[in-house]
A = this chain, B = another copy of it.
Amino acid sequence: MSPAATLSLEESRRTVLRAADELFYARGITGVAMSDVRDASGVSMRRLYTMYPSKRELVAAWLTDRHEAWMMWFTTSIDRHSAAGADPVLAAFDAIAEWVTAPGYRGCAFINSLAETNEIDDSHRAIIASHKHDLIEHLANLASRGRPNAPLWLPTALGVIVDGAIVHCAVFSSTEPLDAARSAVRQLLETIPT
């Protein structure tokens, strides 16, 4: 256990995952070479491959890490936007509005990664599906506040609408899809039995 000659393994991990996040999100998985990750993180090739024995495992670690970071950001951002007493489900759309307008927005990293995933790497598919499962679960919690009699399909439908908006905002480089989706959800929620 060397205190810190150049960089601890934990520090390296964080540096690599941060670099991987920026690169993979911006250019897609196949658009990023391992040497790009090395150059962006400053970690040597040897260290990169001792931490992650293959690119596939680095991608899996990135997806897992991004899932946690994104969910954290999402929940706290919703809290911030629903502080004013707004419906927390609508606050989720306000949270996403911030993301969509941030520079470098390229849609959902998980949906994008699924498009690049072929039959063989099932571990990536599993992480992606699990991320969407958790997202829907969180939306279900938001929607159930004050609506104990909401239909069973509501959380699934909210997940569909949120991700549809995320995708369409990327397609059109615009927030209009998100605004329209928010309007539709507001109107829909008014008809849900409380």
Contact status of A129 and B171, CB under 8 A, knowing A115-B28, A165-B164, A180-B157: yes
In the complex, the chain B residue whose C-beta lies closest to that of A112 is B115
In the complex, the chain B residue whose C-beta lies closest to that of A128 is B171
Closest Cβ of chain B to A153, distance in Å, is: 4
Q: Which residues of B contact A27 (CB under 8 A)?
A: 118
A179 within 8 A of B: yes
Within the oligomer, what is the number of copies of this chain? 2
Q: Which residues of B contact A165 (CB under 8 A)?
A: 160, 164
Q: Which residues of B contact A28 (CB under 8 A)?
A: 115-116, 118
In the complex, the chain B residue whose C-beta lies closest to that of A158 is B184
A184 and B154 within 8 A (CB)? yes
A183 within 8 A of B: yes
Alpha-carbon gap, A162 to B190, bound state (A): 21
Q: Which residues of B contact A159 (CB under 8 A)?
A: 164, 168, 177
A176 within 8 A of B: yes
Alpha-carbon gap, A13 to B154, bound state (A): 46
Which A167-194 residues sit within 8 Å CB-CB of chain B? 167-168, 170-172, 176-177, 179-181, 183-184, 187-188, 190-191
A160 and B156 within 8 A (CB)? no
The residue that A167 contacts in the complex, of B111, B156, B177, with Cβ under 8 A, is: B111
The residue that A157 contacts in the complex, of B110, B162, B183, with Cβ under 8 A, is: B183
Contact status of A118 and B31, CB under 8 A, knowing A128-B171, A161-B161, A191-B187: yes
Q: Which residues of B contact A111 (CB under 8 A)?
A: 111, 115, 167, 171
Closest Cβ of chain B to A26, distance in Å, is: 9
